[in-house]
Structure 1
Amino acid sequence: MTERRTLTLTDPRAIRVLAHEVRQQLMDELSGGEVLTATEAAKRCGITPSAMSYHLRAMERWGIVERVESADGRERPWRMAAESIRISDESSTGIPANVANSLLGNFIKRVTRTVTEMVERNDPDDHATISQTSGIHLTDEEAEQLDTLVSKALARFDDRHDPHTAPPGSHKRAIYWLNLPRP
């Protein structure tokens, strides 16, 4: 991908595709411009290559992943089709509760796994920021403005997805952003 792109999902069926734990793990593995074959992705996710091929094709149908030309023409590598995925407000109302719970539950598992791995490393040089701000009253327009600010801040580092071109001393980081309405 040569430019940053956000994929906005508008169909509840596309969102259902993301609710599967293996598919969310696959998105983690493909994040940051990583390119993997089904066999490589299967090994990282702990499933068979044929099962991984099934998941990749399901995600391809909704434009979430895409095939990449291989150097030798024999391999069939895959990558994320966009740098970020957004679920449109309109489609989120059509998501069944079990799909929403699965999607969010798997997201929370990934965040928990990331924090647990960091704690277990117990590296005094690790820098982590965890921030929670709750109870701020924002209009929908202000919430969108905040999302745009965060996206622009992250876009400053778009050239950092390739580990081969990353500056010395840099480390792969997981960055999660939630902006959720509360009752």
Structure 2
Amino acid sequence: MATYDDPRILRAIAHPTRNRVLHELSAAGSLRAADIAKRTGIPANQASFHLRQLAKYGLVEVAPDAGRDKRDRVWRLVDDDITLNPRQIVEQPGGDAAYTVFQRNSVAWGHHLVDQAFQISADEDNPAKRIVSETSLRLSEDDAVRLQQELNEVVARYREAGRRSDDELDLYSVYQIIQPMPDLAGEDENPA
């Protein structure tokens, strides 16, 4: 697992399209720009551009062993788990602004995921299409860390199984937050 603290990397992955490219590569293991273009609905030249930008910051690399020949360019993540160190990022020049952009985009994406999860659609009869779960636990800090590690192991197992599958599988988002229970949103400070 690589930990990044460069504000430029944070800006690179804050871009919604580049973030989606990272998600596609994480799920698939390795892909061509044309594969990414097909999966994301962007032109292949845009997919290539975003892959080169991510490579510039050491997040993706060409996987020469995965191509059919030397001209076949296949990309993969340098590390499956991208971890950021926000405290070190904001202490660097330009870090505070980069973190603000990243945070704003991440919050917007989180809202989008939750909004989509609660949409009622034609798929509502298929419970596997949207699975929403919220649980409250009493944990020590050590237990919270262990829980996150165990969840990461489960997710990694499913990621590897998806990568090995020959079936055309859907891309699912697994969005995890483990944190102390926050204060109530919009709680009236002066109850009647």
Deviation digits for residues 15-42 of structure 1 (CA, Å, limit 9, x no counterpart): 1111111112212322323432223323
Matching residue of 1:3: none
How far apart in 2 are the matches of 1:163 and 1:112?
A: 31
In structure 1, the residue corresponding to 2:19 is in which secondary structure? helix
TM-score (norm 2): 0.69
Q: What is residue 74 of structure 1 aligned with on the other side?
A: 71
What's the offset of the Cα at 1:112?
4.2
1:57 to 52, 67, 84: 52
2:122 & 2:164 partners in 1: Cα distance?
Answer: 24
Report how far residue 92 of structure 1 moved.
Answer: 5.5
Q: Which of residues 41, 44, 67 is equivalent to 2:39?
A: 44
Instruction: Label 1:37 to 1:127 Cα distance change in 2 as closer, same or farther (>3 A).
Output: closer
Residues matched between the structures, number: 173
Structure 1 residue 89: deviation in Å? 4.5
Residues 104, 47 of structure 1: alpha-carbon distance in 2 compared, 3 angstrom cutoff: same
CA distance in 2, matches of 1:43, 1:124: 25
Shift in alpha-carbon separation, 1:116–1:80, aligned structure 2, 3 A: farther
Contact 1:42–1:48 under 8 Å retained in 2: yes
- Does residue 179 of structure 1 match 2:174? no
Q: Is the 8 A contact 2:14 2:101 kept in 1?
A: no
- The share of aligned pairs that are identical, in percent, is 25
The structural deviation recorded for 1:153 is 3.1
CA–CA separation in structure 2 for the residues paired with 1:165 and 1:43: 17
Change (3 A) 1:117 1:68: farther
Report what 1:102 is aligned to: 105
Residue by residue, what CA displacement relative to the aligned partner does 1:148-172 show, whole Å, maximum 9, x if unpaired?
Answer: 2322333444531225268xxx976
Taking the aligned partners of 2:42 and 2:159, their CA distance within structure 1 comes to 30
Deviation string for 1:41-69 (max 9, x for gaps)? 23433333332222111111222222122
Q: 2:20 matched to which residue of 1? A: 25
1:62-90 alpha-carbon deviations (Å, 9 max, x no partner): 22222122112222111222322222253
Structure 1: state its 5+ residue gaps.
1-5
Question: TM-score w.r.t. structure 1 length?
Answer: 0.72
RMSD: 3.3
* Greater radius of gyration (CA): 2
1:152 equivalent in structure 2: 153
Q: 1:30 to 1:10 in 2, by over 3 A?
A: same
C-alpha separation in 2, matches of 1:73 and 1:15: 31
Partners of 1:33 and 1:80 within 8 A in 2 = no
Contact 1:15 1:95 (8 Å CA) reproduced: no
1:178 is displaced (CA, Å) by 1.7
